[in-house]
Amino acid sequence: MSSTVGKLVFAAFCVVVLPSAAGLRADVLKFKNGDQVHGAFVKKEGGQIFFRSDQFGDLSVREADATVEITSPLAPLVTETEVALATGEKPKPPDAEKPATAPSAAPPKPEGTAVAASAPKTTPPKPAPPKTTPPKTAPAKTPPPVEKPAVEKPKPPASTIARLGKGFIKWWGGWHGRIAFSMSSIHDTADRSLYLAELRVKRTWKHDEVQIEPRYEFRQDNNVTAVDIFKVSAYWRHTFGENWFAEYRPAYQRDRKGSKAEQLEQQFGVGRHILKSKQHRLHIGMAENAFNTWPLNRGLPETAHSMASLFSEASLQLPWRITVTDRGSWYCLGNGDATSDTGWQNTFELTKKLTNMLSFSFRYELRVDNPDPRVADYENTRFLLGFNF
């Protein structure tokens, strides 16, 4: 009787004490973000970790998101069959319908009530470390294919006209100038109308300066042609040293109504720069002048004269985009063939730039005692409207 009572007390101890001891396991479920949950590890199956936590109950977590740290596994537990044999009861038949589960690294979950074994305790084998899934690496990107530069086909040679056109545009790029017009119409005792058109182009290099100025002037008095003159003047100036220069200045005139003659004046001179700033310029010099006159009536004789001269050139930049220029020549020391041994020629011009492309000019011209009397002297005042380029 006493042995039966002792067995019952032992069974009760196992039923009451051992289940409470199961809560003393201190396995840790560690998540990738650093969070930790304490409890008991159950098993790994199908890529999932089954864990019984102290605070949240049963959990199922992917193996890729967490790992398990088993700190202190329990001693081996006895089954209900062993308890039944110890108490003298019939053991329960095993459940045949339950499929066998694959062994896991953790101790199996006990079914029903478990009791401590009366046999001496043995140390269980250490569980295998949890499997860790290596991090997935992104596939290496293949560099984009390098495109080969397209090989340009050789262009056919340009035609001669196209090449000449491109060369002219490149050459003309440094030139600038003005196209100017003047017109007047007077109705009093006589009807007079005057038309004038001129072109001025200029280009400057480091030591050279070139200007060309063609002009045409036409006037009618009572519908009768009174003036029909075509003029071309030009100059080339070369600077050498600091302040010295040499220049060549030709001027051609063809008068079909007044003198009815053609005249070519050529001036070969040297001079010195007195002022050479951008706002103020002043040059003085001396030159030898050659005059050749050809009458339009080829039956008349040709004439040729030469004279020395002194000349001056001045340029002044004023506010409000105003420019003043003046050039004068005083002829003297003739060779005796000319009718007059002295003469004077002067051109004064004031230009107001209205816009970058539009300008207005006032011009006063004077010529007195031309060496050849067949070429008429003159005194002209003009207002011109110009287009700059």
pLDDT at 147: 66
**Are residues 51 and 113 in contact, defined by beta-carbon separation less than 8 angstroms?**
no
pLDDT at 16: 42
Distances in Å between the Cα of 207 and the Cα atoms of 242, 271, 276 are 10, 14, 13
DSSP 338: S
pLDDT at 136: 61
Q: Where in the chain is the domain with CATH 2.40.160.40?
A: 174-388
pLDDT at 195: 93
The angle subtended at Cα 86 by Cα 82 and Cα 91, nearest 5°, is 50
pLDDT at 119: 43
pLDDT at 89: 53
In words, the CATH class of domain 174-388 is mainly beta
**Are residues 282 and 314 in contact, defined by beta-carbon separation less than 8 angstroms?**
yes
**How far apart (Å, rounded) are the C-alpha atoms in residues 180 and 294?**
29
**Are residues 273 and 241 in contact, defined by beta-carbon separation less than 8 angstroms?**
no
**How far apart (Å, rounded) are the C-alpha atoms in residues 94 and 112?**
13
Q: What does pTM read for this prediction?
A: 0.55
Q: Where in the chain is the domain with CATH 2.30.30.100?
A: 2-87
Please state the length of the chain: 389
**How far apart (Å, rounded) are the C-alpha atoms in residues 54 and 38?**
6
pLDDT (tens digit, 0 to 9) for every residue of the chain, 389 residues total? 444 545 544 544 444 444 444 445 568 888 888 888 888 888 888 888 888 887 778 888 888 888 888 775 544 444 555 545 544 555 555 544 444 444 444 444 444 443 333 444 555 556 556 565 655 655 556 666 666 666 666 665 657 777 776 776 777 778 889 999 998 888 877 788 999 999 999 999 989 999 999 999 999 988 889 899 999 999 999 999 889 999 999 999 999 988 889 999 999 999 999 998 888 999 999 999 999 999 998 888 998 888 899 999 999 999 999 999 999 999 886 554 545 567 889 999 999 999 999 999 999 999 888 777 777 788 989 999 999 98
pLDDT at 152: 64
**Are residues 9 and 25 in contact, defined by beta-carbon separation less than 8 angstroms?**
no
- 3-class SS at 355? coil
CATH code for residues 2-87: 2.30.30.100
**Are residues 133 and 39 in contact, defined by beta-carbon separation less than 8 angstroms?**
no
Longest dimension (CA), the chain: 179
